[in-house]
């Protein structure tokens, strides 16, 4: 059975959504997935790694959000669906990919499913409350979907609320939770961080590292970790904090670190390549992901970096918000704390730093959870089972 993936986000673009789509393209059997995605000037190397077909549009991501771009993508998607006898369409996000998905349904009678990530739904919820046009278009896209997939229980509940606001209450029965994962063959304990540490200029002797890997936006909660750092240093003066990522909050975070008096204990590393991430996780003693719900689109719908850290055997301390409880098993693979409580965050981190046996036990449990469940092979199996269910139902 051939499937079509409409992906606004796709490697070499970074981020969790692009990661999901790239892993799908790697793991589907040869000839069973066709990817339709915007042009990217750096795409050739990634596309060459894949056995399947990647059809790059002649326009970039920004143009696919315009009316001419949407019309181009919709017609091209229909052509691909006919040429490859597509039986099911994966829609990687509500908009803009939802428009060509609906177009293919109407012209080729091919069912589609939409994957919700959390922040995308918050954005759509805001739009449908303020624009009749966007409300109509979102209702048409969601209403036409044969199945709606979500990355966590929190995203599922949000989806139910959005469907209710659109008058699509009956579509709740079409929701399926598909937790995300990582690659335990690449993210694993024992990756030597020496070369990376030297390249980044990070000290080794007598230093234990806390680590956060995230785009630096307010909802990621790096500011809460900075506020917790003085209390952590009282109990563990050898600790330093590494923050990997870039984003609009960098200046404020640097100013906050200086104001608190911990700037000399914090290393803002900027963007770290995917190639270097396994070594970076192996450099750390504790992974910290203090994400919270912020603004109208700021939320951690799941948190791939959390399971990447677990795959590397790191104990995790994370904010109890959004879909994070689906990625971190509280008390088993890590500890969940109120995301805006620096004291609670510090206490959980200090507990792990003070007990190497506990940290080792929690990290090992995280590794087992990735090997048995939070991995891309299981994600693709789940997605293929959903496809088969929808195709069988539509054939009746």
Domain boundaries, the chain: 2-181+375-395, 194-372
Q: What is the mean pLDDT of residues 213-226?
A: 92
Taking the C-alpha atoms of residue 81 and residue 178, their distance in angstroms, rounded to an integer, is 25
pLDDT-derived band at 169, boundaries 50, 70, 90: confident
| 46-50, 264-268, 287-291, 352-356: range with lowest mean pLDDT | 46-50
pLDDT of residue 115: 96
Taking the C-alpha atoms of residue 188 and residue 200, their distance in angstroms, rounded to an integer, is 21
Assess contact for 298 and 119: CB atoms under 8 A. Answer: yes
On the CB side of 8, CA atoms within 13 Å amount to 23
pLDDT of residue 395: 74
In Å, how far are 27, 113, 263, 340 from 1, measured between CA atoms? 15, 15, 55, 47
Strand partners, 282: none
What's the topology of domain 194-372?
Rossmann fold (3.40.50)
Assess contact for 376 and 27: CB atoms under 8 A. Answer: yes
pLDDT-derived band at 296, boundaries 50, 70, 90: low
Q: What is the mean pLDDT of residues 8-26?
A: 92
pLDDT-derived band at 15, boundaries 50, 70, 90: confident
Q: Over 70: is that where the pLDDT of 295 sits?
A: no
Q: Over 90: is that where the pLDDT of 327 sits?
A: yes
Q: Which CATH class is domain 2-181+375-395?
A: alpha beta
pLDDT of residue 391: 93
User: How remote is the C-alpha of 55 from its chain's centroid?
Assistant: 23
The conformation of residue 15, written as its DSSP 8-state character, comes to S
User: Is 2-181+375-395's fold the same as 194-372's?
Assistant: yes
Taking the C-alpha atoms of residue 160 and residue 148, their distance in angstroms, rounded to an integer, is 10
On the CB side of 208, CA atoms within 13 Å amount to 18
Based on its alpha-carbon atoms, the radius of gyration of the chain, rounded to whole angstroms, reads: 22
pLDDT of residue 170: 80
User: How remote is the C-alpha of 210 from its chain's centroid?
Assistant: 21
Residues in the chain, total: 396
pLDDT digits (tens, 9 = 90+) for 100-122: 999 999 999 999 999 999 888 98
Q: Over 70: is that where the pLDDT of 82 sits?
A: yes
Q: Edge to edge, what strands does the sheet with 175-177 contain?
A: 53-56, 33-37, 2-6, 86-91, 112-116, 147-150, 175-177
Q: What share of the chain is helix, strand, coil (3-state, %, to 5)?
A: 50, 15, 30
């Amino acid at each position: 059975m051939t499937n079509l993936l409409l992906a606004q986000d796709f490697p070499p673009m970074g981020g969790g959504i692009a990661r999901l789509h790239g892993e799908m393209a790697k793991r589907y059997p040869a000839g069973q997935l066709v990817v339709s995605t915007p042009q990217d000037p750096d795409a050739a190397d990634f596309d060459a790694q894949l056995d399947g077909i990647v059809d790059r549009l002649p326009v970039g991501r920004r143009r696919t959000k315009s009316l001419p771009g949407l019309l181009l993508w919709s017609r091209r998607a229909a052509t691909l669906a006919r040429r490859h006898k597509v039986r099911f369409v994966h829609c990687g996000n509500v908009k803009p990919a939802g428009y060509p998905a609906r177009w293919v349904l109407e012209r080729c009678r091919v069912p589609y499913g939409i994957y919700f990530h959390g922040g995308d739904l918050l954005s759509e919820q805001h739009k449908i409350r303020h624009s009749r046009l966007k409300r109509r278009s979102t209702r048409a896209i969601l209403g036409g979907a044969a199945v709606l997939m979500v990355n966590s229980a929190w995203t599922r509940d949000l989806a139910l609320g959005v469907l209710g606001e659109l008058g699509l209450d009956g579509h709740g029965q079409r929701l399926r939770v598909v937790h995300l994962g990582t690659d335990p063959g690449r993210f694993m304990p024992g990756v030597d961080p020496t070369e990376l540490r030297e390249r980044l200029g990070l000290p080794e002797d007598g230093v234990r590292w806390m680590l956060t890997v995230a785009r630096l936006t307010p909802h990621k909660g790096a500011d809460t970790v900075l506020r917790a750092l003085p209390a952590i240093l009282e109990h563990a003066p050898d600790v330093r904090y590494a923050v990997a990522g870039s984003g609009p909050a960098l200046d404020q975070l640097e100013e906050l670190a200086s104001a608190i008096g911990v700037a000399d204990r914090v290393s803002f590393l900027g963007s770290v390549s995917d190639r270097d991430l396994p070594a970076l996780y192996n450099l750390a003693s504790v992974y910290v992901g203090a994400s919270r719900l912020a603004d109208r689109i700021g939320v951690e719908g799941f948190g791939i970096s959390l399971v990447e850290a677990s795959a590397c055997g790191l104990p995790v301390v994370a904010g109890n918000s959004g879909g994070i409880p689906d990625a971190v098993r509280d008390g088993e693979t890590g500890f969940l704390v109120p995301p805006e409580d620096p004291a609670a965050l510090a206490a959980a981190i200090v507990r792990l730093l003070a007990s190497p046996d506990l940290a080792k036990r929690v990290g090992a449990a995280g590794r087992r959870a990735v090997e048995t469940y939070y991995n891309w092979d299981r994600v693709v199996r789940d997605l293929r089972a959903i496809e088969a269910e929808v195709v069988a139902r539509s054939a009746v």
